[in-house]
């Protein structure tokens, strides 16, 4: 029962976020993400759905643990490695970047640290976290919501690029030409 409610909730929340991202990609003049105006509520509207999706994926993985197969050393190594690497990378960049900048506040264009390798290292790290958990938990329910979460993380940079070009102009255009979107 709870697994079904969580799966439905995860799908619903992820679908709303996905609609916001897709809308922002195709209507950059009316975009929702990144926000045109940063307010004290912006972090709430960014972090609440993000943490709900991640939390639901985690809980579903626990509730539906090993549904697709028994735990094995390769799955522990690969899944655990992705979770560890993703956590280290994402929190390293959040610390350097600043919590408010990760939720759409204006700042300077970041091109150092992991941003030398990827224009979106935090999204790549979040994808690694989700993939690692999906590999480790081997949960059907988590995979459904996780697939939506990964789709959001893959599409979000497309919504942000127009905003970044508006804010940073030629500096971003040059950066974009020399550094890959993901890896």
Is the pLDDT at 12 greater than 90? The verdict is yes
* Farthest CA pair distance, the chain: 53
Domain count, the chain: 1
Return the number of other C-beta atoms located less than 10 Å from residue 112's C-beta.
8
| Mean pLDDT in residue range 154-161 | 97
Asked, for residue 117, whether it belongs to a domain, the answer is: yes
**pLDDT at residue number 102:** 77
> Which residues constitute the domain of residue 86?
2-178
With cut-offs at 50, 70 and 90, classify the pLDDT of residue 100: confident
Is the overall model pTM greater than 0.95, yes or no? no
Which range has the worst mean pLDDT, 18-27, 32-41, 47-56, 94-103? 94-103
Q: Is the per-residue pLDDT at 106 higher than 90?
A: no
Q: Is there a domain that residue 126 lies in?
A: yes
**Residue 84, pLDDT above cutoff 90:** yes
pLDDT band at 117 (very low <50, low <70, confident <90, very high): very high
Q: Output the CA–CA distances (angstroms, integers) from residue 7 to 18, 47, 127, 132, 155, in the order listed.
A: 16, 19, 19, 19, 21
In the structure encoding, which two tokens stand for residue 155, read together? 């599409």
CATH code of residue 128? 1.20.120
The pLDDT of residue 37 is above 90: no
SS (H, E, C) 160-178: HHHHHHHHHHHHHHHHHHH
Contacts of residue 38, Cβ cutoff 8 Å, sequence gap at least 6: 100, 103, 104, 105, 106
The alpha-carbon radius of gyration of the chain (Å, integer) is 17
103 pLDDT tier (thresholds 50, 70, 90):
confident
Q: Say if 150 falls within a structural domain.
A: yes
Classify residue 115: in a domain, yes or no: yes
183 occurs within a structural domain: no
pLDDT tens digits, residue range 40-69?
Answer: 898 899 889 999 999 999 999 999 999 888
Which parts of 64-106 fold into alpha helices (H)? 73-97
Residue 37 in any domain: the answer is: yes
The reported pLDDT for the residue numbered 10 is: 98
Kindly tell me if the per-residue pLDDT of 99 is higher than 80: no
Question: What sign for the dihedral angle of Cα 68, 71, 75, 81?
Answer: positive
Weakest mean pLDDT among 77-91, 102-116, 132-146, 160-174: 102-116
């Amino acid at each position: 029962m709870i697994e079904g409610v969580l799966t439905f909730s995860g799908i619903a929340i992820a679908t709303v976020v996905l609609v916001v991202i897709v809308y922002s990609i195709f209507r950059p003049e009316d975009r929702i993400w990144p926000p045109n105006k940063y307010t004290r509520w912006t972090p709430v509207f960014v972090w609440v759905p993000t943490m709900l999706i991640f939390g639901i994926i985690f809980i579903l993985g626990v509730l539906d643990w090993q549904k697709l197969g028994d735990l094995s050393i390769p799955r522990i190594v690969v899944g655990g490695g992705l979770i560890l690497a993703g956590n280290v990378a994402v929190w390293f960049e959040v610390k350097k970047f600043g919590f408010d900048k990760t939720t759409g506040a204006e700042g300077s264009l970041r091109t150092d640290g992991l941003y030398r390798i990827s224009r979106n290292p935090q999204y790549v790290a979040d994808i690694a976290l989700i993939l690692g958990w999906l590999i480790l938990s081997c949960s059907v329910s988590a995979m459904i919501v996780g697939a939506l979460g990964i789709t959001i993380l893959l599409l979000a940079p497309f919504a942000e690029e127009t905003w970044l070009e508006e804010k940073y102009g030629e500096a971003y255009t040059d950066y974009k030409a020399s550094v890959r979107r993901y890896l």
